[in-house]
Each structure stands twice: as C-alpha cells, then as structure tokens.
Structure 1
Amino acid sequence: MANQIKLGGIVLSTMILFRGVRVQSRYTALMKLSLIILFALFFSTEVKGQSTYTADLSSAETPILRDHLKLGTHQNANGDVLDANSLYFTKNGQPWYPVMGEIHFSRYPRAYWEEAILKMKAAGIDVIASYVFWIYHEEEEGHFNWTGDNDLRAFAELCKKHHVFFFARIGPWCHGEVRNGGFPDWLVKKGNTRKNNPAYLSAVQLFYNEVGKQLNGLYFKNGGPVIGTQIENEYRFNNPAGLEHMVTLKEMALKAGIDVPYYTATGWPGSNQMQNELLPVWGAYPEAPWDKKTTKLALSENYLFTALRGDVTIGSDLLGKHAIDTTYKGYRYPYATAEMGGGNQITDHRRPIIQADDVSALSYVKVGSGANLMGYYMFHGGSNPIGKLSTLQESKATKYPNDYPIISYDFLAPIGEWGQIRPSYRSYKVIHSFLNDFGNQLVQYTTSFPNQKPSGSADNSVLRFVVRSKGNSGFVFISNFQRQLVMKDFENVQFGLKLPVGVLTFPEKPITIKKDLQVIFPFNMDLGGVNLKYATAQPLCLVKGKIPMYVFFAPEGIDPEFVFDKTNIKEMKATDGKVLSSLDGYHISNLKPGTACVTEISLSNGSKINVLILSHKQALDAWKGNAFEAERLFISKQELTFPGDSLNIQSTGDPRISFSVYPSITNLVAGKHQLIESADGIFKRHSLNLTPRRLEASFKEVQNISSYQNKGKLVPFDNRDTTAGGLVKTGPQYQTNMVAVAGSRYYSIKLPATLGDLNEAYMKINYTGDTGSLYLNGTLIADDFYSGLAMTVGLKRFIKTGGGKEMLFQIVPLPNEREVFFEDGIRGKMKYSQASLFDVLIVPHYEVVFSSKRSM
C-alpha cells in the first residue's frame, strides 16, 4: 500500500508490507535515514485530511506461567484435558476461548429447560453457568428439595445432552438478588456466617455434600459437562483470614466430591492475586440499579478500553466503595469474566432501560482489553418462585439494600424471563461467532493500548480503539459508543500500527467510523494458508467443508476492503467485487456485501478457500449450527435452534417463515407445510406461510375485587411492607395474594381458551403506574416495576390451568413523593399518582420443525 509523507520538503514514497517494510525511495542514498525519520514521526503525524490513529505493537508479548494453578481433576477417561495458564484457557492442549452465559435453572420452568439451553447454544454460548441457591433447596433445615424446577442433576444432564459445559456457582452465599443472598432463614437466625465458624461450616458441608451427590458422575473427569464451580461470591480475601476461609470452602467442596478443572471466585471487592487456589473472575454492567441515587449516574468507565479488569460499582450496595488495582502486573490467571451484564435487573428506585448497544459494547471493550473468557450475568432471565415459608426475592424488609420484584427476574437479558429474544441476543451472536471460531488465535494475543486515548468517559473527541496482537498478526477493536453520551462520527480514519517488523497503515482508502459502531478489523490473519494483510470487515465465522468458507461482514457505513498477500495464491476471483493485482498482493474493493459476494481463492498447493462478505444486517440474522450431518450457515429473521442434528425455527408475530442456508439441504421437509425454494446467491432459500393466528385478550376495569381474591390455600405473604417505627417501609405494596392497595386500579383480563399449535404467546400489557401485578385465582403469577416498557408475560405455562379464565391485573399508582429514576422522557408519559391500562395485545409465537427425508 502506498503512503506519502512530506519530510523537510522531500516526498518519500514508501510501500509497507506485512512481512516488513520495503521503501522505494527517489533518493536511494537516504533509505536508512528515511526509515529512522519515518518511525520517529509516524506516530505523531496526521496527513492532511486524514486522521491516523496509532499504536505501538512492537513489544506486545506477555510472559506465560504454566502448571502453577491448583486445579481439580482436569483429564477424563477419553484423554480430554481442560487446563489454564496465566494468559488463557486450553482444551486438549489447544488455546480455547470459552463463552459462558448464566441461567438459573431453579428460576425457570423445568419443562422449558431444554429449549432455553438450545437458545443459549445457538447464540454461541458453550458454557452454561447457574447459581445453586441454598434457600431454594433447604428452605427448612434438614429437608432438601432437588425435585421439579430444583432438579440440578436433570439440568446438568440436559447440558451434557446438548454438548455444552456446565459451571455451578455453589456459594454458599450467592447474592443473585435472592432472599438473604441465598442463605435459608434458619441459617441466618443462627448467625456468625461467612467465616470459619465450626457450626456454620458444618451446615455448609452438608449443603455441599448434597450438591456433590446431585452432580455425581457428571463431572468432567467422568466424561460429564461439569467443568467448574465458583466458591462464595463478592467475598474479600485479600487478607489472611479471608483467604483461609476461601481455601477452606474449596477443600470442603472437594470433600463433597465436587472435583472440577476450574475453581473460581469473584475478584471484587478484594482478592489475593498471588494465591494459586482460585481463578479470580470479573464483570462489568451497563448501569447500577442498586446505586442509592435516583438521578442519572456518572458516565460509566466500563465503556473505555482500559487495563481495569473489574467494575468498581459491582457490590457497592452491600460492600460500599471499593478500589481495584489497575497497576498490578504479572497476573497469574487468565482475564476471565463471570458477570458481564447481559442487562440489569431494575430496582424499585432505579429503572433503567437497557438497549442492545449498552451491553454488546461492553463485550467489544472487554474482549479488546484482554478478556479471555466472556461470562454473562444474566444471559437468560427467569422468575422467582414463592417458597413454602416466604417469598424469595431480595428486599429491604430482609435487611438488604434494595427492593426487587417478588416474581420477575427478567434482567432485561438477551433471552427474557419468558424465553423471548431481545435485539441484544443477535448482537451478542455476532461477536460470539467470532470468538467461537477465531478465539483460539485471539487468546494468545496481547493487548496494546493506542497512543491517543480519551481523557475519560465523557470524552467523545478521540476514537476509542485498542489492538490485540502477537508478532505481526492481530485485531483492531473499535467501540465508538458510550451509554448516555452522544458520540460523533470520525471521518477519514486510518490506523498506523508499529509491528515488530515494520509499520502497517490501513486502510488505503480512509473510512468513516459512525457513532455507536462496534467492530473488529483483522490484520495479517491466516485464512487457511493465505495471509489477509487487512480487511475493513469483521470476521464472523468459519464454515468448514470440502472448501472452507471464511465469512466476514461489512460494518454499517463502511465499504469493505480486503488486501491479501500474494504468497501461496495461484488465482483469485471475486463475485460482486473488483480485484486489483500488484507485484505483492491482491486488493479487493467495490464489494457488494450479500449472499452472492464470494471471493474464490485457489492456492498453489491445489487447495481452495472461499471468502463470503455479508451485510451487517445479514450478520445479525446469521446462525451457524450443525444440522443434517453438516456444519451450515443460515440467514433468517426468525429464531433458530439446532436440537440433535435437526432444525427448529420460531417466529414472533410473523407467520411467514423464511431462511437461506449454505451448504444446501437435500429433501428438506416441514411436516405438512408446503416449502417454496429459490436461489439466494450461494445459499438456498426456503420459505413457507403458516396459518396466521389472531389471539385476543379482552379486558375491563373492575371495582370490586373480592371474587378475584384467593379462596384456597394462601401462599406466604411478602414481608417487605411490614411496619418499622410506625412507618410503612417504602417500596412496592402489592402482595403475593391479591389484596387491595389504596389508589390502585384493577382490570380483568380474559385469556384465550387455547394456544393451539403455537409454541408460545406473549401478552403485552401497556400501562402506567408504579407497579403492575398479575393474578390467577388470586395468586401472584407475574409482576413488573413500570419503566416505560410494556409488561410482557408468556402465556403457555398458564393456559392449561387458566385457559379461558380471567386474570386480574393490579396497577399501584406512583405517589407524588416517590423519587424514582426513569430514563429521559419516561416520566412525561405518566402523571404522578396515575394508574392506567391502555391496551393488552397478544403476540403469537410460531414454531416449525424441519427434517430431511434422507435423515428420516
């Protein structure tokens, strides 16, 4: 690539190549001097009309410690091995980038566990994590419950069935916005917990023993899915007593048979960084709904590329302010996360709305900053059950800092409380596809921060980027996003990277980085024996086959450009693109991203590879999975899962099912439905039209609620509205059993009699007020803290018992004196003390199961 820089009135024409720097100078005698001057000035030079953002990668290398961590049994009878060094995790001796998502099995109906696991796997999750809440399983001392939705073993077995690993977070204290942080009431009454108190440890050992029995035979060493466990949560062990307690708990877990490759502990609020017993894990959230303020918070530093591994706001509600040392060098553990906020659980006093960019940007930032395990809390929302003795949510009445909904633990997660897919799911799927297929390279790369950095979270004048590299190869990560800050477009952008050998400047044609854009650009990336010098497109995935296909996508607002080294290439052909050949390489431009935008590359050794460039929208709609005895890439607006070796497609609201697939599937059938087939570039498109379903829920205001109240056995009342000092505690006032609350309005909602052949139906309740609570037969089944969004309720779990019956919806008004944080513009939608229901819509959720005649 040619680059011209004026030095003292002399124009030096340079050609920079990935294997080094070749200088073609009009003044050959000045060649060496030119290089010296060029390197000295390069990183402070801005060519007129262009902005060159620079980073020095010449010494990007991290020393790696090995065999120092005290893991559990990490080899099974098949010879499979899981391990970790100080930089990354390994699988069978090869670098591995785990992607972990959390769902709480005991907060989601057992009947839908398998569907939930498949949805998570389709999003690129290969490790599923879950808390094991002590109070859920031993609410009454000595009486353990591992049945129904509490069946830990059954959930782990489903993980094994679908080839995803399982990570058990066993506490004993978990937090998780659960009553007492997960401790049973009887244990709290005994006191003296979370320390090496013999009576406390004795109770913990009994609990651990039960967990160990549940997972017996399912550990990795047995060929099972259970690869790790988190000990405790948010526990300070950067002191001798704290470390002794954590090591004691680990030894107790081992005694209980919980023998796993990886033992972790949260790195916050303070962790010992020299011990070898536990891997510290970190996190970052888009907001802090637990913060006591009811005003807009300061801009989060989580959206800056930094060496900061943790989020100083996590746990501040319980632990107060805590600092994380960012100057620490020589980490003994891979940079791993367990609480990357997939959303946020809203509180009574803070009700943020989390959008897709709010969470996906965190992933780009933390992966770019060096994270080598992405763990999300939560990736799938859920619902709190009502216990035998009490409700099970965190509340101020139980001496915890926040009031949460009694039932809802939706978390605004990528997969919601009712299994609904949010836009963030698709954004996550894009970066996870990259991590799944190219993470084995990425984990070996060291992070180098740019020479130009933003001065802080409020600085939108400097492009936010970082580079991960090893040798001359790497990836440029860009995240031009900051929650609650308007960013700007950066025009005429180029990157100048000082490599161990030479300098790489790209792209040749400067680009514009649009506001809010998150993207990854590769440089000197090996594609099956071919060197990609750079691309202004993001790698998406690799589809294996007779001819491997590397899939990229063009970011919004950027014309994709590819430059290949000519070495090992015999011939190159581009469909929907222009190829220019030079002495040293191929330059591909004028590309039209889409399903036909393929570059065919023939190698000198007789092998071939293909490169496909999709649009950004197609990347969001891309699904990679094993179906019908092959690895395939699908593009669909619908929601895909791959149970076994087949294909399921679900569609929210739209009965028109359509998807394109590569490679094509022979003799595809969808039950009795008529399939329409057509060509779509190199893909084959399949379409069908289901019978549209129109479901209605009629509603009317009710003045007398007596007939809707619970006439049978009452469930335990919530104790968060008890009196203290003669004053009613602030917070939500609705109850588990329908009771009247002053100023409330009530509406009966009649359910459809049946869902027919639908997979699900989502009821959307548009209302304003403080809280919305839904009752069936007088018992609370769903609740919501009003935030400006419609309350969503999945109906399939209720139709069997309540089909055709009436639910009662209660809206408690928002008092004038209540101070609650809402996003901008939300408060304007409602009036103080107003409680109103505007409409109730039911959105059908269709499902089609596909099979192949050949596989039948």
Structure 2
Amino acid sequence: MSFRLRACAAVVAGVLAATAANADTLSIDASAATPAPLAAALRLGSATAPNGDTLGANARYLTRNGAPWLPIMGEFHYSRTPASMWEAELRKMKAAGINIVASYVMWNHHEEVEGKFDWSGNRDLRRFVQLATEAGLDVVVRVGPWVHAEVRYGGIPDWVINAMPSRRNDPQYMAFVDRLYQQIGQQIKGQLWKDGGRVIGIQLENEYNLDGPDQGAAHISALKKLALKAGMDVPYYTVTGWDGTIYPSGEVTPVFGGYPDEPWGVSTKELPPKETYAFRFDTRVSGDLGAQTAAHAPGTAETDKDVTPFLGAEYGGGLPFMYRRRTVVSADDIASMLPVQLGSGVNLMGYYMFHGGRNPLGIGGTGMEESTLSGGYNDTTMISYDFQAPLGPDGQQRKVLEKLRPFHLFTQAFGAKLAPMTVRKPEVSPTKPDDLKTARFAVRSEGDRGFLFVNNHVRQYPMAAQKATQFAVKLPGQTITLPSQPVDIADGAYFIWPLNLDLDGTKLRYATAQPVTLLDQGKAGLLAVFAAIPGVPVELSFDEGTHASADGAQITTGGNQTLITGVRPGAGVAVTVHRDGKPPLTIVVLTPEQSQQLSVVRLAGQRRLLLSADQAYVDDNALQMRSVGDSKFRFALYPALPSAPKATTTGAAWTGKPVTATVAVQAADNDGIFQVFEATLPAHDVKVSVTQTRNATDAAPVAIGGNAKAAMQPLPENFKAAGAWQINVPREQLRGLDDALLQIDFVGDIGRLYSGTRMLDDWYYSGYQWQFGLKQQAALLDKPLTVSVLPLRADAPIYLPKEARPDFGGARQMAKVRGVTVVPVYQLRVNP
C-alpha cells in the first residue's frame, strides 16, 4: 500500500470512528454455531420422480434434489376464473416469481346436486393442473372437504350439511368424502410427482381446531387415509397451523399465515397494530386468522415447532371485503410482510390470494358465497372475490405485484443459501405489536454468512424513524458494522441486506442495497443485481485486497475491507470486481423504481433481465406484454437479443374473429447495459354513455345479528331501494383491444352489475377501484348493462377507511354513480 493510500485510509477510519460514536448502534449476536437441522418426523408420500428428481424436508427446510429449497406459493382458484384465462394467468404467476400454485377444490362447485359431479369447463381441475405443469409451476391441491374460502358452508354442499354431521368421522359423512376424494384422485391421476407430474402436495381440511369424539387428530388421520386410498400419493401433506389447530403429529406438516388486518372482525374502527409486522422469535402462529371454530387449548403446531419446517400458505396477498369491515390495503402493507416473515424463519412463502376471481352462481342463479343468511360468520359479495390480489380477477397487474417481485427474485437466487439459516434475535426488540419506536430487525445466519432483515412499516401507524442508525452483527470471528456511516431508516422502509455473501468466490462483506438476482454470463462472469433502498446511500464492502473499479464512486481500503461508497443507482454497471484468472464480477444497483419493473425471462435460448412498467410473461418463447390504459410499450433487455425482434398484436374477438396485425418495434437509446425497444399501437378512446333509470329510495336500517352479532348484509328484498343506471359500451369501439376494463366509480353501500336480470359482478363500496373485464362478456354488450347501487346509510355500523368515508352533508343516505369509464388493455407479442 502506498503512503498516500495509507494516509487516506487512516483519515477515513478516523472519520468513521468519530461518526460511529454518535450513532445508534443496533446490535445482534449471531455468533453461536448453527445446529444441523433435525430429521423431520414426517411420513412423506412418494417423493422420487421417474427421472430421479427428489423432494424432501427436514425440521428446518424443504429440499429439492437434496439441496435446500425455499419456494414461493400463490393461491389461484380455478373454479373462480374462466378456463380460457388459465394458461395466461398461470404464466403471469410464473413471471411474478411464483414457484407453486395452490388451489382449493370447492366441493359444492363440483357436486352441487348429490351424485352429479361436474369437472368440465371452469371446473376442469385436470386441465388446470396440466396447464400449471406446462407453465413450469408445481401444484398443491387443497382438497378440503371443508375449505372455508368464503364459500357457503366452507364448500360442503347444502345436501350434506342438511343431512348429517360434518368435519368429523361420521360414517355417512366420511363415505361421501371418500367419494369426493376418489373423484379428485381421478382428476389428478398421472399428474403426481411420482408419475412425472407437478402435483407435490395435498392439504387436508382447513383451520381445523375441533376436538372431541370422532374429531381432532383422528379425523385428519382418517382424511389422509382416504386421500391415499384415492391415489393421492404425494411428497407433502399439510394442514393449516393457526388458531389452535389439531392434527396427528408426523402425518402432516402445519402451514402458517398472517394478514395485515381482520376483515372478519367486528370493530368499526382502525385496529391496533398487527403482529404480522413484528418479527417472530418464539412462535409461528400469528394471532387470529379468522378460524370459524374456537380452540380451547394450544394446538399441535405449537408443540411441533422444533420438528417441522416453518412453512407458509396464507400470508395475505391482499384482503377480502366483508360487509361489516371493508379494509383497503396498500402495496407496502403487503410487501413489508416479506422481510418480516423471511426474517422470522419462513421457508415457504405462501400467499392467499395471489390471483383474484369471481364466484360461480349456483342452480337458479343463487349465490354460493359465505353469508349470514346461511348461518355464516361473515357476509361476502355474492360474485366478486377480488381480494385486492396482486393479479386481479381479469388478470390485471396491480402495484403490490411490483413490490413483491424483487423479493421473489431474491428467494429464487439466494433461497438455497437462506433456507438452512437460523433466526437470531436482537439484543433489544419490541415486546408488543404496538411498540412503534423500537427498531424491528432480525438476522438469519449460518456460520459467518447471513442476511439482515429490517421492517419499519406498520399499516396505518407511523413508525419512528431510526435516526443515525448502524447495525452491529456479531458473527463467528468478526463483527460487521454497517453502514460505514450512520443512516436514517425512514418510517415505511423495509429491506434485506446481505452479510458475507459469496458471489462466485468473491466475498461481499455487506451491501446497503438489497440483493435481487444473479445472471450467469458464462465467460463474461457473474452479474449480480441489487436494488437501492429509498433514502439510504448505497455502499458495498468487500474483503481488503479486492480489486474493484466503480465509475463515479469512491473506493477506500483499510480496516480489513475495500469500501465502495457514493454508488449511483441506475441501469448501468455500478461496480466491477477484477479477479485474477477468473471472469469479472459485475454489479448493477437498480433504483427502487427500476427494481419493481425487473423480471427475469427466458428468451432466445437464455435467461435475460427485463425492465418494463408493462405486464410481461413468456409464452412459447415469445414475450407477451399487456399495457393498461397506454398504447405505448417500452421494454429493455439484457443481454441484448441476437437480432431485432418482431412484434404482432391480436385483439379479442369482440366482433367476428380476432385479427393479428404486425407492429413496428423501434430500437431506442440504450439505458445503461439494457437494450431498449419501443412500440406503439393505435390508441382507443372508448366512449361510454350512462343514464340513470331509477332513483334510489330509503334504505332499511342495517340489522345487527348473526354469529358475529354485528352488522349484517341487507336482505335480498331490501335491494328494492337501489338506484339504477344504464351503461352502453358499443363493441365496435373495442376492436383490436386485448381487453377493456369497465371502471365504475360509485358511492353507496353495495353495487351490482347486471346484463338484464343476470348478475355479472358485485362490489362493496370501500374506495377501492371496482373494475370488470368486458372481454369475457363481449356478447352481452349488444344490450345495455345496468349498475344498481343500494344507498349507504350515514348511520351504517360498518368499517370504512377514513379516506373513503363520504361526506353526507346532513343527508341520511347516499347512492350515486360518479362516473363510468372503460380503460383499454393493449397487447403486444414480441418474437425475438
């Protein structure tokens, strides 16, 4: 080292030491040895595929071909979505970073009338599983028979409920369950992992905490035997593990969940801070998740904590609207749960829901939803099952998906490293969920490597900014203090930072940016992509002696590290690490906004990074893109394509057959390392006419009662008070569009959309945007649609977000349609 460099290092070290003395250092001891995972006491099913691929589990994590595996699972209900949409929607889920698709089999959707099973059309489970397999997704089939899912009687048909006891080993009931399972077994026969298929798991029952004669563990054990009898021999058998669940230890694995609010609650006010945003160090059970039955003692999941892996199935990808409580969540409300759950030890992140849907109507157009009218605890909309999910009922991509995807890419790239790591508790952590001042963080580590997880977001409550903060993580043989200078962690911030991350033989001591993904460039070396954290300067620390270059950044050496500060986030190369005898290590640090537009796709025979604000997925080696409301497409790829791409667009069959047209793709100036393309389709300005045809009259007072002893949805005859508006959308205006989203902006209690007397959709007013895709109902547009709005009473004892609470101006009620628009959805197919 030259004298000048030594002097520079000494000055920097002095400045850092002086600055650190004034910092608030958050300490955590992760130096204890990481114990080897115990062999899980689980009786798995057949776990070897014909090609030799294996699945397994120990007491800490899942394995795939013997290696640690940390997948992401998303719930998508096939019977709530038109079958014509399944293929594209499953591929969208794959593009969003989902590895496993889970779906309930809702018994009453298949056997509404005793003995008459329907596995056709939107109920074709076999076809759904086949399409998931083609999309590259594993499948977990949640067979019930009681599933909840906000379905009447939890999905058990009326004729069963009316005639016999359910959810227990009653001989008559179990005979019908046996028949149902035989039917499901036939549907997925040949699609199981042992057959070379992708069905890897079966979930039995749901939210089961009943105990007593013919109930409890004996019932779950009997259900598993019936599943095996029906041929459902799979690697994993699960049960939901919350609210005092009871199951036969060793026969099934509990899966957990958590939601950012309780729409099933009875409060008409904001709830206290939810524990979903607090790291879990002592238990996996996240409070009340809305089980329909009450437990009287701790469940099996609590006593099994040390012998089963921490798996998730129902972390809220959104929330449903229930009549008495209409919670609206933001993208950050959902995404901030990721570092909390991963940092708490979760080794399967499962969402409920990831894709919204709509309930089918029963015989005679009756609703099949959970309702107080049929003795249910909750009132839910008859048709809509939007759930504020990352993918809407019509396949629209929502902001929450963009916030989640960087975490999904992280688990794909680094999950094998993270899964074996154990959770380390800070010296000081919040003792209660309503502690909004104490820093919330955790470390998962194994040996001298780990990840730091931080969350400073709690829904509806401001968190104290962590001023002038540094973290001191004690690892075997060293303590890493980061950042080099204290930073403020703002209210709302949440992120993951690496500790001693091995990047193809180069040790990254730490980074104040979140690792996102890796791209193996062969002879060109490894490309590592990070995401900057809003308001936090980016710095990267390597072992001392690392030879690096960084345009526009500062590099200092000393104190056993090579420190790079002043890194400017963007799409260009931030840092290059030069390595003797090996290809270089290239690091890109994207801006927060760019990281939310990033996905990884396989095009023209290799993995590529894709940056685009438009929805994108791969189908048959082509890039399928959708843009909502904007006819201009812009996308950027790295590495560059070998030749200029070509593009086409094909609109839906609004009138006659769809027509495919060629679209010019223009190369734009490169953005950093990315090759940029643009394309523009003809813009559509869809005109809608709206005419009020019926005035609202006085709505009846909201009744209190039901099992929850709270506000109940109005009786059917009370809808005579609804006002009505006629909507005309000429089909001809939609020619060339992939879809068109009807947006109804109304204020009232309940809105319903009709074609004649046929209900198409319904919505509880909450301030959240109501959208309805017209593509699936194109033939109905030749006649006007009708939206009816039941008045919202000023004295309605329901919860509405304060932002959506209307100003009644002294009036007793309100029912109005403020506007109806149609948002065009454009489609572009890019062939590399």
Same fold judged by TM-score > 0.5?
Answer: yes
TM-superposition CA deviations, 1:594-638 (whole Å, max 9, x none): 111332223233232211111111001111111121100011111
Aligned pair 1:124/2:97, yes or no? yes
Partner amino acid, structure 1, of 2:677: H
Partner amino acid, structure 2, of 1:313: D
Note if contact 2:243-2:288 (Cα within 8 Å) is conserved in structure 1: no
TM-superposition CA deviations, 1:333-385 (whole Å, max 9, x none): 11001000111111110011111111111222111111000000000000001
One of 43, 58, 77 as aligned partner of 2:31: 58
Sort the Cα spacing of 1:493 and 1:646 in 2 relative to 1 into closer, same or farther, 3 A.
Answer: same
* Distance in structure 1 (CA, Å) of the matches to 2:227 and 2:788: 45
Instruction: Give the C-alpha shift of residue 733 in structure 1.
Output: 4.2
Note if contact 2:621-2:831 (Cα within 8 Å) is conserved in structure 1: no
Please say which of residues 454-463 and 677-686 is displaced more in the overlay: 454-463
Partner amino acid, structure 2, of 1:819: P
One of 474, 478, 496 as aligned partner of 2:454: 478
One of 296, 318, 330 as aligned partner of 1:355: 330
Instruction: Give the C-alpha shift of residue 294 in structure 1.
Output: 2.2
Sort the Cα spacing of 1:181 and 1:99 in 2 relative to 1 into closer, same or farther, 3 A.
Answer: same
Instruction: Give the C-alpha shift of residue 191 in structure 1.
Output: 1.9
Instruction: Give the C-alpha shift of residue 691 in structure 1.
Output: 1.2
Aligned residue number for residue 823 of structure 1: 801
SS at structure 1 position matched to 2:117: coil
Note if contact 1:54-1:497 (Cα within 8 Å) is conserved in structure 2: yes
Note if contact 1:747-1:808 (Cα within 8 Å) is conserved in structure 2: yes
Aligned residue number for residue 789 of structure 2: 811
Instruction: Give the C-alpha shift of residue 311 in structure 1.
Output: 2.3
Structure 2 counterparts to residues 291-310 of structure 1, below 5 A = 291-307=265-281, 308-310=283-285
* Distance in structure 2 (CA, Å) of the matches to 1:687 and 1:815: 49
Note if contact 1:415-1:421 (Cα within 8 Å) is conserved in structure 2: yes
* Distance in structure 1 (CA, Å) of the matches to 2:419 and 2:597: 26
Note if contact 1:236-1:242 (Cα within 8 Å) is conserved in structure 2: yes
> Percent identity between the aligned chains?
34
Aligned residue number for residue 136 of structure 1: 109
Sort the Cα spacing of 1:577 and 1:273 in 2 relative to 1 into closer, same or farther, 3 A.
Answer: farther
* Distance in structure 2 (CA, Å) of the matches to 1:635 and 1:784: 34
* Distance in structure 1 (CA, Å) of the matches to 2:105 and 2:433: 36
Aligned pair 1:696/2:687, yes or no? yes
* Distance in structure 2 (CA, Å) of the matches to 1:514 and 1:83: 41
Structure 2 counterparts to residues 176-195 of structure 1, below 5 A = 176-195=149-168
Aligned residue number for residue 680 of structure 1: 671
Partner amino acid, structure 2, of 1:98: P
Please say which of residues 543-552 and 215-224 is displaced more in the overlay: 543-552
Aligned residue number for residue 192 of structure 2: 219
Instruction: Give the C-alpha shift of residue 87 in structure 1.
Output: 0.3
Instruction: Give the C-alpha shift of residue 77 in structure 1.
Output: 0.9
* Distance in structure 2 (CA, Å) of the matches to 1:225 and 1:428: 24
Structure 2 counterparts to residues 5-44 of structure 1, below 5 A = none
Partner amino acid, structure 1, of 2:193: F
Instruction: Give the C-alpha shift of residue 268 in structure 1.
Output: 2.0
One of 465, 473, 478 as aligned partner of 1:489: 465
Aligned residue number for residue 409 of structure 1: 385
Partner amino acid, structure 1, of 2:555: V
Please say which of residues 748-757 and 273-282 is displaced more in the overlay: 273-282
SS at structure 2 position matched to 1:659: strand
Instruction: Give the C-alpha shift of residue 271 in structure 1.
Output: 3.7
* Distance in structure 2 (CA, Å) of the matches to 1:423 and 1:638: 11
* Distance in structure 2 (CA, Å) of the matches to 1:209 and 1:829: 55
Sort the Cα spacing of 1:645 and 1:819 in 2 relative to 1 into closer, same or farther, 3 A.
Answer: same
TM-superposition CA deviations, 1:27-84 (whole Å, max 9, x none): xxxxxxxxxxxxxxx9xx9954211000011115244122631001000110000111
Partner amino acid, structure 2, of 1:357: D
Tell me the C-alpha RMSD between the 2 structures.
2.6
Note if contact 1:353-1:787 (Cα within 8 Å) is conserved in structure 2: yes
Note if contact 1:591-1:597 (Cα within 8 Å) is conserved in structure 2: no
Aligned residue number for residue 82 of structure 1: 55
SS at structure 1 position matched to 2:342: helix
Sort the Cα spacing of 1:595 and 1:730 in 2 relative to 1 into closer, same or farther, 3 A.
Answer: closer
**Matched length:** 790
TM-superposition CA deviations, 1:236-256 (whole Å, max 9, x none): 278895111111110110100
TM-superposition CA deviations, 1:134-172 (whole Å, max 9, x none): 000011111100000000000000011111101000001
Note if contact 1:60-1:469 (Cα within 8 Å) is conserved in structure 2: no
Note if contact 1:273-1:331 (Cα within 8 Å) is conserved in structure 2: no
Aligned residue number for residue 781 of structure 1: 760
One of 599, 617, 634 as aligned partner of 2:575: 599
TM-superposition CA deviations, 1:647-669 (whole Å, max 9, x none): 11111111111011100112211
Aligned residue number for residue 656 of structure 2: none
Structure 2 counterparts to residues 428-467 of structure 1, below 5 A = 428-467=404-443
Instruction: Give the C-alpha shift of residue 704 in structure 1.
Output: 8.9
Instruction: Give the C-alpha shift of residue 298 in structure 1.
Output: 2.2
Partner amino acid, structure 2, of 1:252: L
* Distance in structure 1 (CA, Å) of the matches to 2:104 and 2:147: 7
One of 169, 172, 175 as aligned partner of 2:142: 169
* Distance in structure 2 (CA, Å) of the matches to 1:620 and 1:467: 24
Aligned residue number for residue 259 of structure 2: 285
SS at structure 2 position matched to 1:244: helix
One of 343, 360, 376 as aligned partner of 1:368: 343
Partner amino acid, structure 2, of 1:107: R
* Distance in structure 2 (CA, Å) of the matches to 1:218 and 1:298: 45
Note if contact 1:100-1:128 (Cα within 8 Å) is conserved in structure 2: yes
* Distance in structure 2 (CA, Å) of the matches to 1:144 and 1:743: 38
Aligned residue number for residue 729 of structure 2: 751
Aligned residue number for residue 651 of structure 2: none
Aligned residue number for residue 655 of structure 2: none
Structure 2 counterparts to residues 634-653 of structure 1, below 5 A = 634-653=610-629
Instruction: Give unmatched runs, 5+ long, in structure 2.
Output: 1-8, 649-661, 697-701
Sort the Cα spacing of 1:556 and 1:583 in 2 relative to 1 into closer, same or farther, 3 A.
Answer: closer
Partner amino acid, structure 2, of 1:667: A
* Distance in structure 2 (CA, Å) of the matches to 1:204 and 1:369: 37
* Distance in structure 2 (CA, Å) of the matches to 1:279 and 1:299: 29
* Distance in structure 2 (CA, Å) of the matches to 1:460 and 1:299: 9
Aligned residue number for residue 315 of structure 1: 290
* Distance in structure 2 (CA, Å) of the matches to 1:553 and 1:370: 22
Sort the Cα spacing of 1:329 and 1:347 in 2 relative to 1 into closer, same or farther, 3 A.
Answer: closer
Aligned pair 1:833/2:789, yes or no? no
Sort the Cα spacing of 1:453 and 1:111 in 2 relative to 1 into closer, same or farther, 3 A.
Answer: same
Instruction: Give the C-alpha shift of residue 583 in structure 1.
Output: 7.8
TM-superposition CA deviations, 1:178-235 (whole Å, max 9, x none): 0110000111112211111111111100000000000000001111110001011111
Aligned pair 1:395/2:368, yes or no? no
Note if contact 1:237-1:246 (Cα within 8 Å) is conserved in structure 2: no
TM-superposition CA deviations, 1:744-780 (whole Å, max 9, x none): 2110000231421211111111110000000012110
Please say which of residues 555-564 and 313-322 is displaced more in the overlay: 313-322
* Distance in structure 1 (CA, Å) of the matches to 2:705 and 2:474: 65
Aligned pair 1:91/2:69, yes or no? no
* Distance in structure 2 (CA, Å) of the matches to 1:452 and 1:529: 34
Partner amino acid, structure 1, of 2:337: L
* Distance in structure 1 (CA, Å) of the matches to 2:325 and 2:298: 24
* Distance in structure 1 (CA, Å) of the matches to 2:795 and 2:297: 32
Aligned residue number for residue 339 of structure 1: 314
Note if contact 2:19-2:485 (Cα within 8 Å) is conserved in structure 1: no
* Distance in structure 2 (CA, Å) of the matches to 1:181 and 1:297: 26
SS at structure 2 position matched to 1:190: coil
Note if contact 1:551-1:611 (Cα within 8 Å) is conserved in structure 2: yes
Note if contact 1:595-1:614 (Cα within 8 Å) is conserved in structure 2: yes
Structure 2 counterparts to residues 517-532 of structure 1, below 5 A = 517-532=493-508
SS at structure 1 position matched to 2:363: coil
- TM-score, normalization by structure 2: 0.91
Aligned residue number for residue 383 of structure 1: 358
Instruction: Give the C-alpha shift of residue 642 in structure 1.
Output: 1.1
